[in-house]
């Protein structure tokens, strides 16, 4: 992040602590900033270009920031502005839909408008600076793990490495069906727009700005953060007209019908989808929901398995996917085995990156990145070899003291060999048992118990006598996460064994599953 972007982040974020005293969460504060920044930038852009404002008269930044607008009148006008804009279409509707004023103190609202936002000329900043500033705010928001905001944030070094090996190209369409704050979409855009990668003509620039990127997000508030993040990077329509690159919705509800060249995503973690119901006795019960779709290989309540199946549907023929999945997707039986065997046969599952713990805001998460391509129908399996890179064994990262950095992924990117992945070379051998890059043929994979892809071969130094164990805080975090995972598993088993409530007419349809972040 540039010094200017960092200054803006610190300036805006410092005021959050003042508003925290009024009960605002980081998420609430960032939402209010999103509303106000949009109004300010729309006003500046109209002044510079003399184009018609997308904001209706009476509800523009100049009205809100007028010197006489103070006290209760300011608070009421701001609330009415949010209501009116929430009824508009396009980017306006997406950003302001269901918007509410969370800043109850008019004096603090006035200070936020006049002192913190109005004094900055946002349109004088290039897209990188203002985009980096907003991303910095999103990252600070993600650090608020108690508020659950971290579930929407994937480490940028990991995103950049994934995009580097996927190599999105001009004219391609890119989808993230669980886009969160838009990290994958932004990184893909920046890769294509980088003059060191491509020299874009006018049509290609227009396509990249308006047609290339497609995101879906279940949570309204997060979708608006994503839309604003993209807008600050000059992505998407700048007026109220036109389809925004992001929409709010449940990705798993149905096959959307659209197909894409690339799918890049980190779907929400959590083993099962459920809905809370109230019994006739007034007691709360949580009912497991199973997704049933004709295009799925298996019906299951496991959200990650459903996202893998959804993603395989989204791809065009020869389309490419990179998806972050937890370990259970690699070894779980039942529907998990069905999905893996079908994916290995019908698609080219060519690469697996085993991720280290300590890189996500949910501590102790054990995840991987699965890379696969869609292929035409064939009686013989498309997967020939699965290449696995182990970045987990004997690696220790933390969010603060030893965060994951882009150079930590350089060896993986080099081993992936994106220029010609059919000319790869193993770093593992009997002579070099510490090599992290190893090939497994299809026949070996399919012969494993349940076709498990949970494969590791490196010796864990922490298990050897006299080994230097990780720091106590890392060990404690891992133990806590393991206990939580075990408790969650037992709770799911208990829920499955509990008697089902009697059916009622108000029962939620089983084909609908909340995406959850």
Q: What are the residue boundaries of the structural domains of the chain, listed by start?
A: 3-138, 148-165+251-463
- Amino acid 514: pLDDT: 32
**Per-residue model confidence as pLDDT tens digits over 412-429:** 999 999 999 999 999 999
Q: Tell how many helices (H) and how many strands (E) occur in the chain.
A: 17, 11
Query: For residue 269, is pLDDT > 80?
Result: no
Q: How confident is the model at residue 471 (pLDDT cuts 50, 70, 90)?
A: low
CATH fit for domain 148-165+251-463, picks 3.30.420.40, 3.20.20.140, 3.40.640.10, 3.40.50.150: 3.40.50.150
Distance CA 136, CA 15 (A): 15
The whole-number pLDDT of residue 285 equals: 45
pTM summary value: 0.81
Residue 275 has pLDDT above 70, yes or no: no
Q: What are phi and psi for residue 104, nearest 5 degrees?
A: -80, -20
Give the pLDDT confidence score for residue 313 in this predicted structure: 97
How remote is the C-alpha of 35 from its chain's centroid? Answer: 21
Supply the pLDDT for residue 497.
Answer: 63
Say if residues 308 and 341 touch (Cβ distance below 8 Å).
no
Model confidence at 198, pLDDT cuts 50, 70, 90, reads very high
Mean pLDDT value across the chain: 83
User: In whole angstroms, what separates CA 284 from the centre of its chain?
Assistant: 31
Helix (H, G, I), strand (E, B) or coil at 385: strand
The more confident residue out of 513 and 323 is 323
CA dist., res. 208 & res. 202, Å (int): 10
Q: Out of 122-126, 197-201, 315-319, 337-341, which region has the weakest mean confidence (pLDDT)? A: 122-126
Q: How confident is the model at residue 225 (pLDDT cuts 50, 70, 90)?
A: confident
Strands 315-326 and 246-248: unpaired
In this prediction, residues 295-317 reach a mean pLDDT of: 95
pLDDT of residue 478 exceeding 70, the answer is no
Provide the percentage of residues in the chain whose pLDDT is more than 90.
47
Q: How confident is the model at residue 1 (pLDDT cuts 50, 70, 90)?
A: low
Is a pLDDT exceeding 80 seen at residue 144? Answer: no
Give the angle 202-208-212 at the CA atoms, nearest 5°. Answer: 140
Task: Band the pLDDT of 479: cuts 50, 70, 90.
Answer: confident
Q: How far apart are CA 322 and CA 327, in angstroms?
A: 15
**Mean of the pLDDT values across residues 93-100?**
86
Alpha carbon 248 to its chain's center: 14
Number of Cα atoms under 13 Å in the Cβ half of residue 401: 7
Of residues 220, 143, 130, the one with CA closest to residue 180: 220
Looking at residues 268-281, what average pLDDT do you find?
A: 52
**Which residue matches tokens 């037992």?**
490
Average pLDDT over residues 75-85: 93
Superfamily per CATH, domain 3-138: N6 adenine-specific DNA methyltransferase, N-terminal domain (1.20.1260.30)
Question: Mean pLDDT over residues 160-169, rounded?
Answer: 97
Mean pLDDT lowest among 6-10, 23-27, 129-133: 129-133
Q: What is the mean pLDDT of residues 173-189?
A: 93
Please, are residues 347 and 382 in contact by the beta-carbon 8 Å criterion? yes
Inter-axis angle of helices 26-49 and 127-142, nearest 10: 170
pLDDT for 426: 96
């Amino acid at each position: 992040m540039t010094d200017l972007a960092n200054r803006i982040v610190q300036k805006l974020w410092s005021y959050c602590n003042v508003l925290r005293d009024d009960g605002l969460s980081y998420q609430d504060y960032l939402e209010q900033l999103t509303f106000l920044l949009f109004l300010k930038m729309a006003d500046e852009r109209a002044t510079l270009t003399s184009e018609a404002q997308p904001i209706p008269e009476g509800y523009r930044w100049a009205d809100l920031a007028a010197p006489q607008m103070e006290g209760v009148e300011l608070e009421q006008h701001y609330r009415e502005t949010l209501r009116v804009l929430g009824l508009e279409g396009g980017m306006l509707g997406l950003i302001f839909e269901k918007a509410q004023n969370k800043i109850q103190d008019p004096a603090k609202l006035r200070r936020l408008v006049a002192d913190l936002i109005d004094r900055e000329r946002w349109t004088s900043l290039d897209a990188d600076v203002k985009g980096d500033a907003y991303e910095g705010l999103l990252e600070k928001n993600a650090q608020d793990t108690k508020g659950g905001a971290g579930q929407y944030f994937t480490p940028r070094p990991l995103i950049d490495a994934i995009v580097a090996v996927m190599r999105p190209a001009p004219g391609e369409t890119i989808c993230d069906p669980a886009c969160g704050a838009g990290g994958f979409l932004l990184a893909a855009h920046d890769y294509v727009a980088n003059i060191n990668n491509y020299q874009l003509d006018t049509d290609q620039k227009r396509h990249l700005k308006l047609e290339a990127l497609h995101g879906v997000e279940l949570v309204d508030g997060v979708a608006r953060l994503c839309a604003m993040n993209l807008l600050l990077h000059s992505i998407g329509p700048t007026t109220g007209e036109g389809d925004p690159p992001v929409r709010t919705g449940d990705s798993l509800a149905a096959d959307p019908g659209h197909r894409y060249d690339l799918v890049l995503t980190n779907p929400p973690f959590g083993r099962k989808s459920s809905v809370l119901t109230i019994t006739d006795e007034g007691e709360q019960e949580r009912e497991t929901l199973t997704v049933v779709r004709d295009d799925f290989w298996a019906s299951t309540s496991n959200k990650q398995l459903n996202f893998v199946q959804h993603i395989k549907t989204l791809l065009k023929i020869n389309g490419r996917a990179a998806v972050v999945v937890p370990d259970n997707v690699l070894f779980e039986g039942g529907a998990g085995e069905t999905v893996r065997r079908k994916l290995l046969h019908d698609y080219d599952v060519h690469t697996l990156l085993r991720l280290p713990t300590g890189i996500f805001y949910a501590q102790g998460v054990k995840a991987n990145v699965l890379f696969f391509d869609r292929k035409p129908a064939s009686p013989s399996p498309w997967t020939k070899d699965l290449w696995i890179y182990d970045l987990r064994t004997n690696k220790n990262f933390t969010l603060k003291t030893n965060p994951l950095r882009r150079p930590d992924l350089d060896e993986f990117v080099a081993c992936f060999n994106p220029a010609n992945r059919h000319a790869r070379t193993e770093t593992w051998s009997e002579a070099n048992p510490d090599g992290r890059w190893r090939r497994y043929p299809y026949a070996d994979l399919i012969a494993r118990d349940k076709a498990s892809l949970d494969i590791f071969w490196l010796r864990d130094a922490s298990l050897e006598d006299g080994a230097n164990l990780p720091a106590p805080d890392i060990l404690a975090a891992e133990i806590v996460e393991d206990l939580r995972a075990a408790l969650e598993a037992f709770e799911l088993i208990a829920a499955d064994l509990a008697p089902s409530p009697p059916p009622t007419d108000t029962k939620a349809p089983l084909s609908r599953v909340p995406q959850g972040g």
